[in-house]
Amino acid sequence: MGINIAMVCDFFHPGVGGVENHIYMLSANLIRSGHKVIAITHSHPPDRVGVRWLLPSLKVYYIPFPTIASSATLPNYFTFLPYLRTIVLREDIQLIHGHASLSSLAHEGILHAHLMGVRTVFTDHSLFGFDDAASILTNKLLEAALRNVDAAICVSHTGRENTVLRARIPPERVHVIPNALVAEQFRPSPVPPGGDTITVIVLSRLAYRKGIDLLVATAPRICARFPNVRFVIGGDGPKMIDLLQMREKYLLQDRIAILGPVRHSDVRNVLVQGSIYMNTSLTESFGIAILEAACAGLYVVSTRVGGVPEILPEDTISFANPDEDDVVRAMSEAIELVSAGKHDPLRAHERIKDFYDWKEVTKRTEAVYESVLESEPCDFWTRLQRTLDLGRFAGIIFAIILLVDCLFYMFLDWYLPEDELDMVEMHWEPEHFQEAVDEYEHSKKSETA
Amino acid sequence: MSKDEWEAEWERVLWKKKPYPDNYVPRSFLSSLSKNPNFKPYTYWQLVILSCSISQHLASIYVFLAVFMGLRQRLLDPRALVWISVGVFFTGYAIWEILERGRADSTVRTTNRAKTVKGSILVFLALMSLSPVLKTLTAATSSDSIWALSASLFILNALLADYTALRPQSHRRERLTSVLSMNAAISSSVVLASRLSDDISVFGLILFSVQTFALFPMLRRRIQDTAKPLQILVTILLCGLSIALTYPLSSTATYLYIACYTFVTFVAPGMLVWAQRFKNEIRGTWDPAVPKVYRRLSVSR
């Protein structure tokens, strides 16, 4: 018997990015193993509104909330409840899975879940510092949201340490389940990029956190040192101007190709043009881009930050400190190694393709869901006590939010009683699908016979 | 499988299939966490010296207020104020030149000097021609509003002022806040000046305010970079001057000023030293790295 799961996150299709992709792939695989999954996100007016279906029967609710910045909605704690209550009750949801620590919809979903007797899981995808005003504020919001969560998932051991410190939750409640990739989508090209030219690929958002300053400082030095090296840089962002300036200043227009934004479906085709992948990120929770490049048979040079050292064996990736000279050193070694023909893309792909698998990730996530559903939910007083423990001021504020939320729920219960709601009936189940497939194949067989 | 076996199997990698559950907490959990790694505690007297610049700035505001009250109550002759301003200007400029000696090369200093002369004559003439206009600027506004406005502008000025030392080699542009701070003080003195009764008083007060709020902070920041005794001497002189000028006008204000100086110079540093015990800075592998780059094309972030 499958579980009815609601994925709640501000960041979802049609937005693109690591979180969006993760939610989609996880949902698709959960559906495949017999669960019912819906996704709840904010709408993208004018055309992405209402209820939509995504391919393997994933229903997406687009809630009409305006966004404030970079696709995040305003944390207002109550306005989501009327929508969420109706959706959860109609869809008979048993578990809410929130994603991303900057998504206020996910926080709200976790806050409201206990009112409907729904259990909660939260996945944190990113790393945050502790020493600036924005981090202090968002860490407090996260701590409040995760006070009463049943389980949390982080994508790397570094991410787990970070989340435990930020949200002050017991470490045994946090699970480490990595991201995954579809290895078939990142096959190296059957003909390795030949010739003397060595192409270095950089695919990244061009932002400060991705270490574009390091790229800007090292690319001309590498070009000067190795006349047979060219760069292909994909992505867009505020640092684009610096890159263009650098290319113009050192007259490297014929050796540095700047592609601009690259669609995720085109990533593989860009990757296989080169033989070295360079990543200069200053912080990275998991580094899926590195994994994709390594899987496509590229030799990876990366800065040693965050969770990157955990994702691949030491001998398939070479590390540099986030310092100009050391990046040049690591890149020079990589270029020499690749030009000596010591790196075989096909062998690297064969080795890496089995490390990560969505089926495995789904199985491990299911185990978390099951343990959460088996555990005893904590009662209201424990919740209130835990919330009050948040701090002298924050505790009271969030306790008031919790209480008002309960009153609001009581009002909604009176205004729109549960027995007046139309339940969603799914006429389409995996068994039906299998039956249809069998029938089709049977008819085909009898036709040929 | 026992916990010991899990512990032996545990590795900080994600790509291997492992026997332990996903929420297993290894013994090495949070081992890379470091607390207050580059923490240098402040000492009390070091902070007292650093607070001198704040006292100096406050003292200059108080002196200005005392001068304004003197003009308003006709205790101070505006002509004398103009001469004092000119005298202070030359003294200050001489000190600046002495401090500047040996720092910049002579050609730069000559051009700077020419610029200064031109600038000061322009300001002098512009203020003189503008003072009749400034006198009637706020004639339609009640005095109460003016006091409130100027008080808030002076508070803004003190909050936003740049209290860092001016390093000789740094030719970086002024920070936005310090420009705002100067503008707040000048606007405040303009509205105060508009309460005065004759043109020469208005001219004298505005001239004095340019000295106090535009030129003196530069000199103050330069003095901050020199020997500590000079800085302490300047602080004591300025605080003494402000108290001496204020006492005949109002004893309450004088006591308030003294309380203010004591708090800024002696109590506040003590509080900061005490508050350091709560410092808890955590660092670990999750922190964004700081890139080391030598030739930077831009500083955009």
Alpha helices in A114-253 (DSSP H): 133-146, 157-167, 212-225, 240-249
Please state the φ and ψ torsions of residue B22, each to the nearest 5 degrees. -65, -20
Among A136, A149, A213, A304, the residue to mutate for chain B (most B Cβ within 10 A): A213
In chain B, which residues have their Cβ closer than 8 Å to the Cβ of A216? 293, 297
Question: What confidence tens digit (pLDDT) does each residue in A268-316 have?
Answer: 999 999 999 999 999 888 888 999 999 999 999 999 998 899 999 988 8
Tell me if residue A5 falls in helix, strand or coil.
Answer: strand
Please state the φ and ψ torsions of residue B185, each to the nearest 5 degrees. -65, -40
CB contact under 8 A, B294 and A214: no
Predicted TM-score (pTM) of this structure: 0.79
CB contact under 8 A, A178 and B300: no
Q: Return the pLDDT at B165.
A: 82
Question: What confidence tens digit (pLDDT) does each residue in A206-215 have?
Answer: 988 899 999 9
> Cβ neighbours of residue A165 under 8 Å, at least 6 residues apart?
A130, B30, B33, B282, B284
Which helix (H) or strand (E) segment holds residue A36: the answer is strand A36-42
Closest chain A residue to the Cα of B300, Cα to Cα: A239
From the list A175, A309, A310, which residue is nearest B23 (CB)?
Answer: A175
Closest chain A residue to the Cα of B30, Cα to Cα: A161
User: Has residue B301 got a pLDDT over 50?
Assistant: no
Average pLDDT over residues A73-91: 92
By the CB < 8 Å criterion, does B278 face chain A?
A: no
Amino acid in the structure at residue A435:
E
Average pLDDT over residues A41-49: 91
Question: What confidence tens digit (pLDDT) does each residue in A329-372 have?
Answer: 999 999 999 988 888 888 989 999 889 999 999 999 999 999 99
Whole-angstrom Cα distance, residue A19 to residue A17? 6
User: Has residue B170 got a pLDDT over 70?
Assistant: no
Q: Which residues of B247-263 are buried (b: 16+ CB within 10 A; e: fewer)?
A: eebeeebbeebeebbee
Residue A308 tokens, joined: 């990157």
CB contact under 8 A, B291 and A131: no
CB contact under 8 A, A161 and B298: no
Please measure the distance between the N-terminal and C-terminal CA atoms of chain B and give it in whole angstroms: 50
CB contact under 8 A, B294 and A217: yes
Whole-angstrom Cα distance, residue B81 to residue B69? 13
In chain B, which residues have their Cβ closer than 8 Å to the Cβ of A211? 289, 291
More confidently predicted of B105 and B148: B148
Please measure the distance between the N-terminal and C-terminal CA atoms of chain A and give it in whole angstroms: 38
User: Has residue A191 got a pLDDT over 80?
Assistant: no
Whole-angstrom Cα distance, residue A45 to residue A35? 30
From the list A158, A311, A356, which residue is nearest B285 (CB)?
Answer: A158
Average pLDDT over residues B113-141: 89
Question: What's the CATH code, domain A183-352?
Answer: 3.40.50.2000
User: Mean pLDDT score of chain B, rounded to an integer?
Assistant: 87
Nearest Cα to Cα of residue A343 among A192, A145, A125: A192
In chain A, which residues have their Cβ closer than 8 Å to the Cβ of B293? 213-214, 216-217, 324
- Categorize the per-residue pLDDT at B104 as very low, low, confident or very high, splitting at 50, 70 and 90: low
Q: Return the pLDDT at B295.
A: 57
More confidently predicted of A273 and B173: A273
Domain positions in chain B are 1-30, 51-274
Question: What confidence tens digit (pLDDT) does each residue in A222-271 have?
Answer: 999 999 999 999 998 899 999 999 999 999 999 999 999 888 889 999 99
Average pLDDT over residues B198-220: 91
Domain A183-352 in the same topology as domain A4-180+359-427: yes
From the list B12, B282, B295, which residue is nearest A310 (CB)?
Answer: B12
Average pLDDT over residues A77-89: 94
CB contact under 8 A, A241 and B32: no
Residue A446 tokens, joined: 């009898």
CB contact under 8 A, B286 and A157: no
- Categorize the per-residue pLDDT at B298 as very low, low, confident or very high, splitting at 50, 70 and 90: very low
The alpha carbon of residue B138 and the mean position of all alpha carbons in its chain are separated, in whole angstroms, by 29
CB contact under 8 A, A171 and B294: no
Tell me if residue A153 falls in helix, strand or coil.
Answer: strand
User: Has residue B284 got a pLDDT over 60?
Assistant: yes
Residue B292 tokens, joined: 């080391």
Q: Return the pLDDT at B297.
A: 46
CATH 3.40.50.2000 holds for A4-180+359-427: yes
Tell me if residue A202 falls in helix, strand or coil.
Answer: strand
Contact A274, A201 (CB under 8 A): yes
With vertex at residue A181, the alpha carbon angle to CA A277 and CA A278, rounded to the nearest 5 degrees, is 10
Nearest Cα to Cα of residue A146 among A128, A125, A126, A163: A163
Whole-angstrom Cα distance, residue B90 to residue B78? 19
By the CB < 8 Å criterion, does B292 face chain A?
A: yes
Average pLDDT over residues B33-56: 88
Contact A158, A124 (CB under 8 A): no
Name the percent of chain A lying above pLDDT 70: 98
Q: Return the pLDDT at A196.
A: 82
Tell me if residue A6 falls in helix, strand or coil.
Answer: strand
CB contact under 8 A, B291 and A305: no
Alpha helices in B161-227 (DSSP H): 176-193, 199-210, 216-224
Domain positions in chain A are 4-180+359-427, 183-352
State the angle between helix axes of B199-210 and B176-193 in degrees (0 to 180), rounded to the nearest 10: 160
